[in-house]
Amino acid sequence: MKSIHITEQSAPMGWERAVIATWQTGESFQTEYDRPGCPPSKDATVLIHVTEPLGEPRIHRAFPGGLDDLEKYRAEVLYGAHDHWIDPAAGKWQYTYHERLFRYNVPGAGPCDQIAMVIEKLKAVPHTRRAQAVTWQVWNDTNIDDPACLQRMWFRISSGRLHMNVHMRSNDAFKAAFMNIYAFTELQAMVADQVGVAAGEYIHVADSFHIYGSDFAEFQGFLNTVAKRDVADRVYTSDFARPFFIEGCDTLLAEPDMPDQKKALVEKRKAQLASQGPT
């Protein structure tokens, strides 16, 4: 098994280096999702250490997806914007990260807000090693179709800043990892704000950081973009992305089945984005 260790100042450059290193040095593995004729995936265990995760520019312009999608995913992780889609019996979602982090269902005890517990623990004992939130449900996840990739978030305060380590069981390096990192660092910033400290460094660990064989052709386009553009032309600032984030909020608010409580959170976020400057 190959291992890769990346340290970068910014999240987009950390992600970029990690996926390229996986492509260049990762081991070939079959997956449980391969279709007939698909080549094996490229796979490695990867650690990405981002020293200034909230520093600008924060967004890689070649991540697969739109900037509005990035905002919608943020809303799913921080607000549970689509928690109401969880209904395994009806063939819908089996869980969300928000549900597991903020409403972890403990058998015999009911839901538990792990993030609230993390915040209270950090306020009481800033140097604690016990401030963590887990997602894996050992009694359930081994046998479901799409088990949680995110496993654990671990928080610690050092020198007045809140650092966060995230551990992924499995991570689609090309199609999902950047969106994961962006949303998770937004959660880190939210926890830091509620604790009353600045957000610090971010470490993203993936046991299986992989590029699927079915995505190899599309990934060649990513490699060509990286090769032909200067660093400044491979990233976006949050200011540039703001109007697209607002579009993402509007898309969420137009969903007819979204609960009012969730709509209120998205409306607040949209107002905050709009107040930050012209779009």
Q: How far apart are CA 29 and CA 44, in angstroms?
A: 10
Q: How far apart are CA 119 and CA 138, in angstroms?
A: 25
User: pLDDT of 51-80, one tens digit each?
Assistant: 999 999 999 999 999 999 999 999 999 999
pLDDT of residue 37: 83
204 three-state secondary structure: strand
pLDDT of residue 48: 98
Contact partners, residue 221, CB within 8 Å, separation at least 6? none
Given a cut of 80, whether residue 278 has pLDDT beyond it is no
Q: How far apart are CA 263 and CA 250, in angstroms?
A: 10
Q: Which long-range contacts (CB under 8 A, 24 or more apart) does 133-140 make?
A: 133/101, 133/104, 134/100, 134/104, 135/95, 135/97, 135/100, 135/101, 135/104, 136/169, 137/100, 137/105, 139/107
Q: How far apart are CA 150 and CA 136, in angstroms?
A: 8
Banded model confidence at residue 90, pLDDT cuts 50, 70, 90: confident
262 three-state secondary structure: helix
pLDDT of residue 186: 98
**Mean pLDDT of all residues in 99-123:** 93
**Mean pLDDT of all residues in 254-260:** 96
Whole-angstrom Cα Rg for the chain: 19
Q: Give the domains, in start order, of the chain with CATH numbers.
A: 3-66+92-235 (3.30.572.10)
User: pLDDT of 159-183, one tens digit each?
Assistant: 999 999 999 999 999 999 999 999 9
User: pLDDT of 122-161, one tens digit each?
Assistant: 999 999 999 999 999 998 888 888 899 999 999 999 999 9
